[in-house]
Amino acid sequence: MARGAPSSRCLPRVSRLRPKPTAEHATLFKALADETRLEILGLLAAAGGSLCVCDIESHVALAQPTVSHHLRVLREAGCLRAERRGVWVHYEIDPTCRRRLEEFCNLMGRDGT
């Protein structure tokens, strides 16, 4: 068979095929594509509620500005919620994060379970 010739196993091309709307999930996956940010989410999941930023910093072996950067990325991606309590900020996993991940799985043909 010549290079570039269609294979007899290929299905006929569908001219009106459109990709599923996955672009809105890109920010979420970019935020989740970092080991430190996943560690922070795992820490918050283990806590089962909110944690003070000082507690998060004590578990992550990074400088405070770097931890703040990771928390901001997670917050802007909709993974975390933040609440100021006096001089400290407390973070918790945003419940909509799981819903958004399940929506993506549904787009990919899975039921999210």
Q: Which residues of 17-46 are buried (b: 16+ CB within 10 A; e: fewer)?
A: eeeeeeeeeeebeebbeeebbebbbeebee
Digit-coded pLDDT (tens) for 1-26: 556 555 566 766 666 766 777 778 88
pTM: 0.76
Would you state the torsion angle of the CA atoms of residues 95, 101, 102, 108, taken in this order, to the nearest 10 degrees? 170
Mean pLDDT of 52-76: 95
Spans of all domains in the chain = 25-107
Q: Is residue 44 a contact partner of residue 80, using CB atoms and an 8 Å limit?
A: yes
Just give the CATH number of 25-107. Answer: 1.10.10.10
